[in-house]
Amino acid sequence: MEQYIIGIDTGGTYTDAVLLDIATRRVAATAKVPTTHFDLSRGAGRVLSELLGKSAVDARQVLAVSISSTLATNSVVENKGARVAVIVIGYVRHFKLPVTAVVFVKGGHTIDGKEEEPLDLDYLVGLVQGLKDEVDAYGICAAMSMHNPTHELVAEKAIAMLDPKPVFCSHRISRLTGMHERAATAGLHAKLMPVMGRFIDGVGQAMASLGLHCPAVVIGGNGSPLEVSRAVSEAGLTVASGPACTAHFGAAHAAGDALVIDVGGTTTDIAMVEGGRVLLAGEGCTIGEWKTHVEAVDMHTAGIGGDSHVHIDERGVLSIGPGRVTPLAMSGERADSLAGWLDVDNRSRLIVLRPEAAGQLPPGEVAALLGQQGRLTPADIRQRTGLGGVPLNVELEKLTRRNLIDECGFTPTDALHVLGKLSLGDGEAARRGADILGGAMGLGGEDFARLVIQRTEEQIANLVVDYVIRRTWQNSLAAFISGSKNHPVLAVDFAIKVPLIGVGAAARTLLPRVAEMLRTSVSFPENCEVGNAVGAALIGLEGYRA
């Protein structure tokens, strides 16, 4: 009787699954369904049910389920994870992190583990009392805690007595110096613990409902399988889970050196393969604004993908990403309704209250208004409440974190519908959206769609160049690279000397032009549309055999 491993990849837009034959390492079946953010178990259950139904495989033939997820990476890039306060203990230069609060407390130890100054516990207690209604988790980083973690442990205990929320201490994951990176690592784990906990619970429920009682593992960012309990308690280890699977899928199809590029709905991830081997980052991975000590594949990720939000500001400047919205073609919005709300600036996206949100809305003016109206643009909300800018974004982020709202708007996916390169949804809604937004820039709908795709391809090409520069010279030239195309005096072109390997649903459409711009070639291996799920299954297979 044949035996199988299932690989699952839950991304920001789609959840993919593959059935891998253990004996032959061949993919026996694949499935792809939309990711259900409001209830991850529903999407996971649907994709597993579809996969097993296609193959007529009995659940007892499945020996393991190997899980990859870009949810952690996406929540960091989009800044939609848990609200975190990072508590830094010791005399250090103050720094910033992309979290709700970074607070500094007296204390810490010396390099030989001796107490440099007593922990200011009274001050810490006062801080937590003021923060506990504003955050969902805490990260703690004390000076030289890798040599003596006492102050981190005391602070953790004190927080637990005041606020029963997740706490992560830096000494549990990082033995390296560098307070900024260690604090970022602690904050990252704290930010992702609630996200990963909900995700693992959802997958577990889906497996149980289908009679899948086999072991499950989560792929870590370094390409190693993690027990599900560890994936939750040390959630930061999963932050590059998707890219790790991307890299392993690419390595299985690389003849030598190559750049593996996964173009997803929310992000584009790039990983390097040398001699058919997956490389690890030397000093920890960088995700968006987060430079960490988390061991991960040598990769780079940014918020540009098929479902990135296309926005035109009040000056007529076009931008794409990093936030993700549901494409107009997939949103259920009728083409004839778009003129009533779609426009530039704060009318470029529609906030829609999910049907499941009834009875779950938190207190607040914005939540109450959406409860009454059901669907509004940020401009509408500002007009009716007076909230705008950061205060409005904070209120909307609260609803997003609870998966109570969806956002829809024009995306590169819509542009592909307009240009006849995609036909998965309502092409008429996409075309009407392109006409409206194009008109604001003095362009016809097709010309606007071509501009959106051109800018998307340019951003991906710039991301590739910046990744190569980062890994070679440890410095980012992102601003220079993006600005060099339109510089009035300086003209700069870049060429990549290794081939590209495309992964992801949008790769076949967007990467050929990217390869042309970078003067290289691109290939698309079999099953590349579900490449991360294949990579997860391959990693799971190696772990299972070990």
513 or 267, which is more confident?
513
Phi, psi of 212, deg, nearest 5? -90, 95
Burial of 493 (0-12, 13-18, 19+ CB in 10 A): exposed
pLDDT tens digit string along 266-297?
889 898 899 888 888 766 666 656 666 677 88
Quick check: 81 pLDDT over 90?
no
Q: Give start and end residues of each alpha helix (H) in 118-175.
A: 121-131, 150-162
pLDDT confidence of residue 502: 96
Pairing of strands 326-327, 277-278: unpaired
Q: For strand 4-10 and strand 14-21, is the pairing parallel, antiparallel, or unpaired?
A: antiparallel
> Does the pLDDT value for residue 413 go beyond 60?
yes
Give the N- to C-terminal CA distance of the chain in Å, as an integer: 21
Please state the rounded mean pLDDT for residues 16-25.
Answer: 94
For residue 405, give both structure tokens.
């709202």
The string of DSSP codes covering 28-67 is EEEEEEE--TT-HHHHHHHHHHHHHHHHT--GGGEEEEEE
In DSSP terms, 263 is beta-bridged to 268
Q: What share of the chain is helix, strand, coil (3-state, %, to 5)?
A: 45, 20, 35
Give residue-wise pLDDT tens across range 120-139.
Answer: 999 999 999 999 888 888 99
Higher per-residue pLDDT: 96 or 80 = 96
pLDDT of residue 289: 62
Cβ proximity of 413 and 429 under 8 Å = no
pLDDT band at 525 (very low <50, low <70, confident <90, very high): very high
How many CA atoms are closer than 13 Å to the CA of 378, on its beta-carbon side?
23
Instruction: Work out the average pLDDT over 447-473.
Output: 92
Q: Does residue 476 carry a pLDDT above 80?
A: no
Q: Which residue has the tokens 């990744």?
A: 467
Integer Cα distance of 227 and 219 in angstroms: 9
pLDDT of 213 reads 92
CA distances to 62, 536, 546 from 2, rounded to whole Å, are 9, 19, 19
The predicted pLDDT at position 288 comes to 59
In the numeric block, the tokens 């009834």 are attached to 358
Residue 255 pLDDT grade (very low, low, confident, very high; cuts 50, 70, 90)? confident
**The pLDDT of residue 544:** 64
- pLDDT tens digit sequence for 155-185: 999 999 999 988 989 888 766 667 888 888 8
pLDDT at 78: 62
